[in-house]
Structure 1
Amino acid sequence: MISAQGFKLPKDQKFQKINFEMINNLIIVPLEINGAKLTFVLDSGVGKPILFNLSDQDSLQINNVSEVTIRGLGDGEPMKALKSKGNAFKLGKAKNYNQELYVVLDKEINFSTSLGIPVHGILGYELFRDFVVEINYGAQSIKLHNPELYRPPANTRKSQTLPLSIDRKKAYLQGTVLFKDSENVPVKLLVDTGSSDALWLFHEPEKGLEIPEKNYEDYLGRGLSGDIFGKRTKVSGIKIGDFELKDAKAAFPYRESFGFFNNLGDRNGSVGGEILKRFNIIFDYGREQVTLKKNGNFRAPFQYNLAGIALQHNGLRYIAESIADFNGVVREDDSSFGNVQILLENKTRLSLVPEIVVSGIRAGSPAHEAGLQEGDVILAVNGKSIHRYKLQEVLKMLNEKEGKRIKVLIERYDRDLMFTFVLKKVFDD
């Protein structure tokens, strides 16, 4: 049933196409709220939209506000938020003039620093409820189909339509996890486009969901209520419908992160962006079905943090560079976090660029054994000054391939230091 107060397209328009940016397996869409242009993560694992990162440069009027307490994933405490009704949301020509919204005031909730671009919030269920949502991960575009004018596709050799159960504003798929030394285990998985990870499983030995022997403790991400840690590992495979992904990256989050969610029902975990991006997907909540079609990412290897470093933006810093020509201009580059350049009389260019720091480091990893520490400012990787690159590009440099020698120049307490390490497999075959 389509809500009378929900998102709608203009009459007789079959669909609205929206291009998105994919960063760290997440879908980043442009969203207009009450006339303010913002960017949101499309998150099928969230109910009401949540706004959590307004900077000093952002201006947004919200309507009909009351104070509430909300709780999300993570090991922290519940947080105060504002509940706002009657807001105008717009994605292209898809509009909702009466959208409820939560505003989190805690400045610690900021996904922009780890993604490398400004991200203001998360949007989920209402969009999936009101449209048939077709996500083309290959072309990085979304089509919001008018459900009344939409006709489901037929199955082909590369595609399959599967049942999708909708429970308390969340969507679930049935799958099978393959383990080396035990029977295959059927699982019910939350479909979570707002997770950049591959597969999360709950440790339930009585159901056959035992943590494989080869594992390590790792930071898995951040929820609204704090950091999430768990055991990183891999399973022999994950099967969804007729599709099977071998040697699948998996994690077993510690149950403390789900402490608030006392009743997880028969859910056994979640499937996130690193698996979902291997398909072009049509979510049809109204018919309770999902169509998966393999795309060019299907056989891509799973990505591990071989270096063991987590990075994030940490404000801005000045760098000075000698230049050949001087033309006396001051230029502002409209990049993700701003880049102001001043050309001085002595042919030196002074640039204000994002500072990238080590925000976490895995014990026993190559970077940890080499001597890198949390808080180190990254200056260069393999001779390349990192201020010329986006944060995700720097992470790729640090995790390029097994056996590669990495040289990292860092700043620590006003001293420049060089560290060298070799990337090695996380798990031996």
Structure 2
Amino acid sequence: MNSFFRHSVFFIFCLPVLLVAQEYTLPKSEKYEKVKFKLVNNLIIVPVDVNGAKLSFILDSGVNKPILFNLSDQDSIQINDVREVSIRGLGDGDPIKALSSSNNTFQIGKARNNNQLLYVVMDKELNLSPRLGIVVHGIIGYDLFRDFVVSINYSSKVIKLYDPQLYKPKKRAKEQTLSLHLEKSKAYLKGFVLIGDKQNVPVKLLVDSGSSDALWLFEDVEKGLDVPKNSYQDFLGQGLNGGIYGKRTKIKGLVLGEFHLKEAKTAFPDMEYFSSITSFGERNGSLGGEILKRFTAVYNYRDSTVRLRKNAMFNDPFNFNLSGINLQHNGMRYISESIADSRGVVRDKGDSFGNVQIVFESKTRLSIVPEIIVSGIRAGSPGQEAGLREGDVILAVNGKKVHNYELQKILEMLNEKEGKRVKVQVARFGNDVMVTYVLKKMFK
């Protein structure tokens, strides 16, 4: 299943500068804290306790201070010392009103900060949970990388937060230490790209674990960063101020130290969406989660280094959206199914996208299940040419009812492999419609 497209989610902010002393610490004599995470769309989702409330955050190395952006009417959380501010991020919208809050207690495992500054975006439209299929309340980044040596193992889905004073690196075979360039709370790696007949074009890339994409490059013909002929216009991801669009393609290779990633999936974003950034300096793009997940990495900001080692995903093919279809959750819907004789009420997992099942004596089960809709579709794609429309409710893929699967698995089913015939059953204006398409190569 090598063609599953992953939504990019990323935020680059212009935030007010507040001088607030804050630091994460571990209990005395503890060398490190081990935290399990979920890997969704190449994004790291970590549990964070905020003033006693248990929330989920994306670990985003590209963001300075934590931001809460998905507080529903059911969420109850205390935030302290509040004032109103404006923040700006990527996208074509206007700056957004937000709340700045200091003196908050953040806890990740045993790692604790009793004086954490955070920002709260109250705009309900900024909600990543429907796109990811999992509840996410916010993003957190630089403060953790600043205060700890951070080890990220994508294979075991474990983060270790080491006390820098007690940390002693272990030498491992086939591991390489690269220089991190730290500028204004962000980390950059230098490498080379191979585009067309241009070999080893030097690039400086933002390390951005908050992007689920692979590689972004900023078009610069003079430098040799021009868009290959085989490319297509596409939705690249969601920024704070709206959607980001640009060209998708692949390049011959990306070189980081001694590591060479071949046929790397690449996007060239339309630069109009970066109007909030006054200067890129020497930056030429970003490294996102679809590349970062191919390494076990140890980030040491105090030493300005990162130690990289290949993991089992290193040689996995890069994923493209062959169908052209984007999906998201759209609340819940009822379904009726015939079952064996049984009675009572059954409740599945207790998360926001779980199923509630009600059983009647007539051997019929009425279930409340997540509704999955087509949230976007690329012009000229197999899905669009077959007649799928934005707003269609996905019922089944190749005969498999989608309410039995997580959102990311459904996307895999829609984009399984080149040449695959896919049959999609959708609900449209109260009628069931069957659509069939064949997945085609993105590039010749």
1:45-99 residue CA offsets vs partner (Å, 9 max, x unmatched): 0000000001222110000000000011112111000000000000010000000
**Is 1:195 aligned with 2:221?**
no
**Is 1:9 aligned with 2:37?**
no
Given candidates 274, 283, 286, the residue that maps to 2:299 is 283
Superposed, 1:61-76 pairs within 5 Å as 61-76=78-93
User: In the aligned structure 2, how far is the partner of 1:259 from the partner of 1:379?
Assistant: 40
Contact in 2 for aligned 1:116/1:336 (Cα 8 Å):
no
Aligned-partner SS, 2:190: strand
User: In the aligned structure 2, how far is the partner of 1:242 from the partner of 1:304?
Assistant: 26
User: In the aligned structure 2, how far is the partner of 1:390 from the partner of 1:155?
Assistant: 36
Amino acid at match of 2:145: F
**Is 1:206 aligned with 2:222?**
yes
Given candidates 138, 145, 149, the residue that maps to 1:121 is 138
User: In the aligned structure 2, how far is the partner of 1:40 from the partner of 1:300?
Assistant: 27
Q: CA deviation at 1:264?
A: 1.0
Worse overlay, 347-356 or 332-341: 332-341
User: In the aligned structure 2, how far is the partner of 1:134 from the partner of 1:90?
Assistant: 18
**Is 1:104 aligned with 2:128?**
no
**Is 1:35 aligned with 2:52?**
yes
User: In the aligned structure 2, how far is the partner of 1:328 from the partner of 1:69?
Assistant: 51
TM-score by length of 2: 0.94
Contact in 2 for aligned 1:328/1:345 (Cα 8 Å):
no
Aligned-partner SS, 1:274: helix
Q: CA deviation at 1:153?
A: 3.6
Give the structure 1 partner of residue 7 of structure 2: none
User: In the aligned structure 2, how far is the partner of 1:333 from the partner of 1:111?
Assistant: 20
TM-score by length of 1: 0.97
Aligned-partner SS, 1:68: strand
Give the structure 2 partner of residue 229 of structure 1: 245
Amino acid at match of 1:187: V
Give the structure 2 partner of residue 247 of structure 1: 263
User: In the aligned structure 2, how far is the partner of 1:126 from the partner of 1:328?
Assistant: 48
Give the structure 1 partner of residue 9 of structure 2: none
Contact in 2 for aligned 1:155/1:161 (Cα 8 Å):
no
Aligned-partner SS, 2:167: coil
Contact in 1 for aligned 2:44/2:58 (Cα 8 Å):
yes
Give the structure 1 partner of residue 329 of structure 2: 313
User: In the aligned structure 2, how far is the partner of 1:253 from the partner of 1:332?
Assistant: 41
Q: CA deviation at 1:330?
A: 4.9
Give the structure 2 partner of residue 134 of structure 1: 151
Give the structure 2 partner of residue 328 of structure 1: 344
Given candidates 351, 374, 382, the residue that maps to 1:358 is 374
**Is 1:260 aligned with 2:276?**
yes
User: In the aligned structure 1, how far is the partner of 2:349 from the partner of 2:294?
Assistant: 34
1:373-396 residue CA offsets vs partner (Å, 9 max, x unmatched): 111000000000000110001001
Amino acid at match of 2:30: Q
Give the structure 1 partner of residue 424 of structure 2: 408
Give the structure 1 partner of residue 181 of structure 2: 165
User: In the aligned structure 1, how far is the partner of 2:319 from the partner of 2:371?
Assistant: 25
Amino acid at match of 1:362: R
Amino acid at match of 2:102: K
User: In the aligned structure 2, how far is the partner of 1:61 from the partner of 1:136?
Assistant: 33
Amino acid at match of 1:293: R
Bigger RCO (CA 8 Å, 6+ sep):
2
1:76-132 residue CA offsets vs partner (Å, 9 max, x unmatched): 111000000000000010000000000001111111001001000000000000000
Give the structure 2 partner of residue 144 of structure 1: 161
Task: Describe the shift of the 1:174–1:360 C-alpha distance in structure 2 as closer, same or farther (beyond 3 A).
Answer: same
Amino acid at match of 1:57: Q
Aligned-partner SS, 1:257: helix
Aligned-partner SS, 2:344: coil
**Is 1:390 aligned with 2:394?**
no
User: In the aligned structure 2, how far is the partner of 1:107 from the partner of 1:387?
Assistant: 25
Q: CA deviation at 1:336?
A: 4.5
Task: Describe the shift of the 1:271–1:332 C-alpha distance in structure 2 as closer, same or farther (beyond 3 A).
Answer: closer
**Is 1:378 aligned with 2:394?**
yes
Q: CA deviation at 1:5?
A: 2.6
Aligned-partner SS, 1:114: helix
Contact in 1 for aligned 2:21/2:115 (Cα 8 Å):
no
User: In the aligned structure 2, how far is the partner of 1:336 from the partner of 1:66?
Assistant: 30
Aligned-partner SS, 1:190: strand
User: In the aligned structure 2, how far is the partner of 1:305 from the partner of 1:332?
Assistant: 31
Q: CA deviation at 1:341?
A: 1.1
1:150-191 residue CA offsets vs partner (Å, 9 max, x unmatched): 1234363x2100000110110000010111222321000000
Aligned-partner SS, 1:358: strand
Root mean square deviation, CA, Å: 1.1
Amino acid at match of 2:402: I
Give the structure 2 partner of residue 89 of structure 1: 106
User: In the aligned structure 2, how far is the partner of 1:331 from the partner of 1:66?
Assistant: 41
Displacement over 6 Å in runs of 4+: none
Contact in 1 for aligned 2:82/2:99 (Cα 8 Å):
yes
Contact in 2 for aligned 1:180/1:236 (Cα 8 Å):
yes
User: In the aligned structure 2, how far is the partner of 1:90 from the partner of 1:333?
Assistant: 25
Give the structure 2 partner of residue 344 of structure 1: 360
Task: Describe the shift of the 1:333–1:142 C-alpha distance in structure 2 as closer, same or farther (beyond 3 A).
Answer: closer
User: In the aligned structure 2, how far is the partner of 1:333 from the partner of 1:181?
Assistant: 52
Aligned-partner SS, 1:128: helix
Q: How many residue pairs are counted as aligned between the two chains?
A: 425
Q: CA deviation at 1:262?
A: 1.4
User: In the aligned structure 2, how far is the partner of 1:225 from the partner of 1:152?
Assistant: 40
Worse overlay, 343-352 or 278-287: 343-352
Give the structure 1 partner of residue 434 of structure 2: 418
